[in-house]
Amino acid sequence: MIVEINNKAYQAKEGDILEDVIKQNFKQKNIVAAKVNDRLTDLSDCIRDNSKVELITTNDDDGLNILRHSCAHIFGHAIKQLHPETQMVIGPVIDNGFYYDILSKNPLTEKDLPLIENRMRKLVKKNYAIRREVISKEDAIAIFEDRKEPYKVELLKEIPEDEVIALYHHEEYIDMCRGPHLTNTKHVSAFKLIKISGSYWKGDSSNQVLTRVYGTAWETQESLDSYLKSLEEAEKSDHRILGKKLDLFHFQEESPGMVFWHDKGWTIFNLIKDYITGYLKKNSYKIINTPQMLDKSLWKKSGHLDKFGDLIFDVGSEKKEYAIKPMSCPGHVQVFNQGLKSYKDLPVKYAEFGFVHRNEPSGTLHGLLRIRAFTQDDAHIFCTPDQIKEEISILINTIKDIYNKFGFDDLKIELSTRPDKRVGSDEIWDKAESSLIEALEANNIEYLENPGDGAFYGPKIDFSLKDSLSRVWQLGTIQLDFSMPGRLDASYVDKEGNKDVPVMIHRAILGSLERFVGILIEHYSGNPPFLAISCASNDIKYN
């Protein structure tokens, strides 16, 4: 049979190991996985038919993630050798590294990290093979019950019956994972354990407290050293430290995830808010304000209660259940619904600095960057299908311009398409996705496609920026919604005198203003040009 590897054809037999075929034809040492017919797979997989293969190396994002995920398993191998009674929980890849949640009889401290890291290095130097085994769910449960790993057992029981269960063998250590993983520890050389923190099982504060060990791994020692240096710089620029030092804000245990603004910090916050307000006024937005609490029935009707119920704070009063708003969109539809609208009135643009609450797990809270109560620069544009392209084009260029004015020139734009769990018909989604693509291409915008990562009500364009420490922050979003207006009975009278449902465009430029202040503080190391921001609002030409 023919196997096409990196666009060149090679002969292979059914059952040949992919890694063996690659070794016979390629001399690269950093090949760690492959995409076979667009499916990411282990090199230990067999060739089953004529295939198109793309090699994955540690220079690729996928390859680096595989390296880091395997390094997390090597951490598990090391910790179980040093502390056999440790119970392993989960060890996913995160930005720039990985973590592993564990339950240890004797809680770990930062002083334990060098010892664990040294054991990891000894294991890596053995260059042992990492073996993948596909196994039945029942057998996997039996194995982890025998190994006294209750968290692995619980995770296994939650996996659907038709899903493939794979175990990865690191000598005597066994872990479970979808993969793919490295086939040998020889690919791991540049890694470090970074820090320890606390977490909760499944992110629920009512569950068992766990120990979370963070680590990082890179393709070269040079890359690792560069990353560690950036961590040192980031620590010096930590907005939590600078916020206290500069008397901008503080946090207290009595109100987790909610900020106490001091006068200087509040001045900065309002300078940014005033700047965005200037843009809104010059672009025909109606600035409104909607209630903090709405009856739960409205959130049920909009679809938010089913999708985001765990993040919603609720309160009861006079035998009624209310939700403290986690976002402003249903309230904006209620404003639109007041009074008859004609196609001649569209587009209608509502904007609000919505103060929203989300019940984020306590273990995820991080200064201004992840909080429970924050101000979002929400806006919603109600328009006809024919107006979508123009409105999206205006938003794309405006968001780029505003980021540039704040000193962020390195941007990444992503188009996220329909997720598995969604509302609305395929026909509606086809129309929504094609509208966004047309707007992006009409403005010659380079973008990445993110299949399956759209909102449940429509596709979206996400804007990320890179700061002075080379960290990427996702901020702005444009989300096309063909569903919610109809669910909440929004309508307008079209040219033929018939009632029609408007298209709704959700958009945020900065997202959480609190988070943006934190990003600015760290980007400028506590010395952002806030006076320039104040002046900018008076002389910037808005699109």
Percent residues over pLDDT 70 in the chain: 97
Q: What is the DSSP letter of 184?
A: B
Catalytic site residue from 71, 177, 329, 383: 329
57 has which bridge partners?
31
Q: Is 28 a catalytic residue?
A: no
Q: What is the pLDDT of residue 470?
A: 83
Token pair in block for residue 119: 């054991």
Q: What is the mean pLDDT of the chain?
A: 91
Q: Determine how many CB atoms are found less than 10 A away from the CB of residue 149.
A: 21
pLDDT digits over 179-202, tens only? Answer: 999 999 999 999 999 999 988 898
Domain ranges of the chain: 2-57, 65-236, 245-290+326-539
pLDDT digits over 302-340, tens only? Answer: 888 877 788 899 898 888 899 999 999 999 999 999 999
pLDDT digits over 95-108, tens only? Answer: 899 999 999 988 89
Which band of pLDDT confidence, cut at 50, 70 and 90, is reported for residue 6? Answer: confident
Token pair in block for residue 226: 């560069």
Which band of pLDDT confidence, cut at 50, 70 and 90, is reported for residue 375? Answer: very high
Q: Is 236 a catalytic residue?
A: no
Q: Is 221 a catalytic residue?
A: no
CA–CA gap between residue 379 and residue 248 (Å, rounded): 28
Catalytic site residue from 69, 80, 119, 506: 506
Q: Is 250 a catalytic residue?
A: no
C-alpha torsion angle, residues 314, 315, 316, 321 (rounded to 10): -30
For the residues of 104-164, what is the DSSP string, one character each?
-SS---GGGHHHHHHHHHHHHHTTPBEEEEEE-HHHHHHHHHHTT-HHHHHHHHHS-TTS-
Q: Give mean pLDDT, residues 159-182.
A: 95
Which amino acid does the sequence have at 487? R
Give this prediction's pTM: 0.76
Q: Is 410 a catalytic residue?
A: no
Q: Is 358 a catalytic residue?
A: yes
Catalytic site residue from 376, 377, 383, 479: 376
Catalytic site residue from 170, 187, 341, 358: 358
pLDDT digits over 217-273, tens only? Answer: 999 999 999 999 989 888 889 999 999 999 999 999 999 999 999 999 999 999 999
Q: How far is the CA of 474 from the CAs of 149, 234, 329, 418, 446, in angstroms? A: 36, 18, 20, 19, 16
Q: Is the peptide bond before 180 cis (omega within 30 degrees of 0)?
A: yes
Per CATH, 65-236 and 245-290+326-539 having the same topology is answered no
Q: What is the pLDDT of residue 310?
A: 82
pLDDT digits over 384-403, tens only? Answer: 988 998 999 999 999 999 99
Q: Is 329 a catalytic residue?
A: yes
Catalytic site residue from 68, 181, 349, 380: 380
Which band of pLDDT confidence, cut at 50, 70 and 90, is reported for residue 361? Answer: confident
Q: What is the pLDDT of residue 541?
A: 42
Catalytic site residue from 101, 378, 462, 481: 378
Residue 270 zone, left/alpha/beta (φ > 0; ψ -120 to 50; rest): alpha
Q: Determine how many CB atoms are found less than 10 A away from the CB of residue 302.
A: 22
Catalytic site residue from 460, 507, 515, 523: 460
pLDDT digits over 527-538, tens only? Answer: 776 544 444 444
- Output phi, psi for 135, to 5 deg: -145, 160
pLDDT digits over 336-345, tens only? Answer: 999 999 999 9
Q: What is the pLDDT of residue 530?
A: 53
Q: Is the pLDDT of residue 15 over 90?
A: no
- Domain 65-236: what homologous superfamily? Threonyl-trna Synthetase; Chain A, domain 2 (3.30.980.10)
CA–CA gap between residue 152 and residue 174 (Å, rounded): 11
Q: Which architecture characterizes domain 245-290+326-539 according to CATH?
A: 2-Layer Sandwich (3.30)
Q: Which architecture characterizes domain 2-57 according to CATH?
A: Roll (3.10)
26 Cβ neighbours under 8 A, 6+ residues apart: 5, 55
Percent residues over pLDDT 90 in the chain: 70
pLDDT digits over 105-121, tens only? Answer: 888 999 999 999 999 99
